[in-house]
A = this chain, B = another copy of it.
Amino acid sequence: MEFLQNNLIYFIPLLGLIGIIVMAVKSAWVNKQDAGDQNMQELAGYIADGAMAFLKAEWRVLSIFVLFAGALLAYSGTIHEINGKPIHSSWIIAISFVIGAVLSATAGYIGMRSATKANVRTTQAARTSLKQALKVSFTGGTVMGLGVAGLAVLGLGGLFIVFLKYFDVIGADGVDTIHMKTAIEVLTGFSLGAESIALFARVGGGIYTKAADVGADLVGKVEAGIPEDDVRNPATIADNVGDNVGDVAGMGADLFGSYVATILATMVLGQEITVVDKFGGMSPILLPMVICGLGILFSIIGTWFVTIKDEHSNVQNALNLGNWSSIIITAVASYFIVMWMLPDTLSLRGYEFSRINVFYAILVGLVVGTIMSIVTEYYTAMGKAPVNSIIQQSSTGHATNIIAGLSVGMKSTVVPILVLAGGIMSSYYFAGLYGVAIAAAGMMATTAMQLAIDAFGPIADNAGGIAEMSQLPPEVRERTDNLDAVGNTTAATGKGFAIASAALTSLALFAAFVGIAGISAIDIYKAPVLAGLFVGGMIPFVFSALCIQAVGKAAMDMVQEVRRQFREIPGIMEYKAKPEYEKCVAISTKASIREMMLPGAIALITPVVVGFIFGPEVLGGLLAGVTVTGVLMGIFQSNAGGAWDNAKKSFEKGVEINGEMHYKKSEPHKASVTGDTVGDPFKDTSGPSMNILIKLMSIVSLVIAPYIAVAGNSPDYPSTEIKKEIKIDKTVDSLGNVKLDTLINRTDTLNIEQ
């Protein structure tokens, strides 16, 4: 215990390493499974190749972006002062940024590889039993989950040690608060790198998956009249690749970003807390890393419970058991960790709280995440009132179906927002801003488990596709359909969790931003701040519109390519010639990367422009606006899309409208297909993109916060607050008082307008 206490900081990356080792073992196990016959392997090969083709194309653009942005960061010339010595820290931020990007991309690569191996092996396993099919597909998902969490904890924990040592050597005089905070601040680069990858994976991936899906359906199902997942459709491989690109790599990168950002934001705030503890005053900083690191172990324990007895067992229950196990173990363990690590009372920016309240804040995070998932499921699940209302209104046509879906989506914002607001208030009540951040970290602790469940869905979906394309016996498809149906539910709850995590992450980052930017308030009663709030609120609308349009344009490209192949390659329809799958994959890939440029640029550039022209307080208003409408538009679009999807799916089994049964091909069913098509970009592109938008803008703001805290030139209007802040900082510094009340004391080595 003594040893652990003294060396806790070194145990953190070790926890990440354990996650990676278990991942490797599980990955090897999946690879060892039977991949089925020649035909199945060939089809799976197409999907795997397509997925890798997307990743490669994405990486080509990404590497240019990362190098460019990294160079910009390195060139920016940030100077941190440690014990009187100015240190050029900008190149360290740049390195931190590149490492974050590489690790996030690696996690995505591992997940995609694992998923594209597990899919066909799940199909093969489904030939023998449901139990085995679940085992293969869930293990495939677990690889993704552990890869994300393991690499994140290893990277963050490892870099923190390295930076701490580096600044220690440079600055001398032992571990002190100044170089600790410098070490944490350069870590923001890591978070920015991770979230940049998420932009490409989630937004680009979202465009990819829906362009392929819509393109495949429009020509294949509607024009050529062949079923979904038919091997004759040139876009069918792209469609299956899309499931991996969007739902595996996109979701993985999204949660990787949230995971890293919440831990980091908590560290930034924790560093402001001055305590005397057994960890050299570092307990509030180490706590989020310890909880999330241990969360990896608890997630591994949770996976043991995900198993079923026989063909008639309930797969959903097995997943729920695993999920709940890891959440409950995390909750219980958090109590002991908090009691062990933290001193009796802590204080942040004048707000005092006891350690037990930090534990309560963690509980708040776990509860918020859980409720958000449950609510999302309610609004999108078959058989529940919201989806039924859409079904009923499909009977009077396309328009009423759309109206019903839109109003379900809008109404579905109520409970999540109230829960979120309650979560903010209660976690703040318990432990101030540190409470808000640690609540987010608590919620993210079981990320490995959440992601395992999330990634299981597209694997099962793909397995079904392969079964269909290889024309395997019906009982195989039945088993994969069983898994797929559960996967649809987990996809909905996963989206709820992802939005909740993005929201809490943004709030934690927002709290950290204010500290680093050196402002004490974001007063929307000041006209420029209010204007920032309005402009920020507008961005999610234009971002959504651009994403939706992008899907439309990319789908049109796909439609033309599929038509061309049907026209120019004779014998496709008679199974005599093979379609050129890779051409469709290339089109989707190219279009997705082209179309994500503008929205991506908006997310990255707006905070920089606003921050440098109008100063940190206006930027704070902008961030608040983005976060509020971003969360609302995210919930609205995702849930409307999910509800439309399941309303359409309900017709497969038949639905009763005004005492009459309706099935597929009926008029109400056609109306429901319209809703589903509208919902596709909503739920898989623009909706989830909101997560990235709000987090990315917050992280960019956090990274530029030290610059604008100084350079922030406020125009002539009397936003005196900003100027005053800077003055206060200088005063503090001229007294030689290096207390952590303010973070700006290093800035006076730069040119400040006197």
Contacts and interface: CB of A to CB of B under 8 A. Distances in A.
B681 A530 contact: no
A620 interface: yes
A414 B538 contact: yes
A530 B624 contact: yes
Contacts of A631: 534
A400 to B, nearest CB: 7
A618 to B, nearest CB: 9
Nearest 10 A/B pairs, CB to CB: A428-B527, A399-B677, A410-B545, A421-B531, A417-B538, A407-B545, A537-B628, A521-B523, A398-B398, A410-B541
Nearest to A537: B628
Interface in A404-436: 404, 406-408, 410-411, 413-414, 417-418, 420-422, 424-425, 427-429, 432-433, 436
A332 interface: no
A371 interface: no
17 contacts: A397-B674, A398-B674, A403-B552, A407-B546, A410-B541, A413-B538, A413-B542, A414-B538, A417-B538, A420-B531, A421-B532, A422-B531, A425-B528, A425-B717, A428-B528, A429-B716, A534-B628
A516 interface: no
A325 interface: no
A61 to B, nearest CB: 24
Contact of A534 (B421, B527, B538): B421
A404 B552 contact: yes
Given A411-B542, A534-B417, A718 B351 contact: yes
A485 to B, nearest CB: 24
A399 B674 contact: yes
A367 interface: no
Interface in A592-628: 620-621, 624-625, 628
Given A414-B541, A420-B534, 14 more contacts: A218-B396, A350-B718, A351-B718, A399-B675, A406-B545, A407-B546, A410-B548, A411-B541, A413-B542, A429-B715, A429-B717, A524-B624, A629-B632, A674-B674
Given A524-B624, A545-B407, A400 B530 contact: no
Contact of A527 (B433, B531, B541): B433
B410 A544 contact: yes
Contacts of A422: 531
A425 B530 CA distance: 9
Residue of A433, A620, A674 with most chain B CB atoms under a 10 A cut-off: A674
A77 to B, nearest CB: 29
A537 B421 CA distance: 11
B535 A421 contact: yes
A548 to B, nearest CB: 5
A522 interface: yes
Contact of A436 (B527, B535, B537, B552): B527
A298 interface: no
Interface of A: 218, 350-351, 393, 396-400, 402-404, 406-408, 410-411, 413-414, 417-418, 420-422, 424-425, 427-429, 432-433, 436, 507, 510-511, 514, 520-525, 527-528, 530-535, 537-538, 541-542, 544-546, 548-549, 552, 620-621, 624-625, 628-629, 631-632, 636, 673-675, 677-678, 681, 715-718
Nearest to A548: B407
Contacts of A511: 525
Nearest to A393: B552
Contacts of A681: 403
Contacts of A677: 397, 399-400, 403
B625 A407 contact: no
A420 B510 CA distance: 25
Nearest to A543: B410
B534 A525 contact: no
Contact of A530 (B413, B507, B527, B532): B507
Given A436-B527, A514-B525, A525-B522, A632 B541 contact: yes
Contacts of A417: 534-535, 537-538
Nearest to A400: B552
A629 B433 contact: no
Nearest to A422: B531
A311 to B, nearest CB: 38
B527 A524 contact: no
Given A403-B552, A411-B545, A531 B424 contact: yes
B537 A629 contact: yes
A665 to B, nearest CB: 16
Contact of A524 (B425, B524, B545): B524
B535 A418 contact: yes
A541 B548 CA distance: 20
Given A524-B524, A525-B620, A632-B541, A678 B402 contact: yes
Residue from A411, A534, A537 whose CB has the most chain B CB atoms within 10 Å? A534
Contact of A632 (B537, B674, B715): B537
Contacts of A436: 527
Contacts of A406: 545, 548, 678
Nearest to A389: B549
A609 to B, nearest CB: 13
A729 B658 CA distance: 64
Nearest to A352: B718
Contact of A625 (B428, B510, B628): B628
A533 B628 contact: yes
A361 to B, nearest CB: 11
Contacts of A538: 413-414, 417-418, 632
Nearest to A637: B406
A338 B508 CA distance: 48
A515 to B, nearest CB: 10
A40 to B, nearest CB: 33
Contacts of A716: 429
A533 B424 CA distance: 11
A535 B58 CA distance: 38
Contacts of A629: 537, 628-629, 632
A72 to B, nearest CB: 26
Contacts of A425: 527-528, 531, 717
A678 B629 CA distance: 23
A606 to B, nearest CB: 12
Nearest to A414: B542
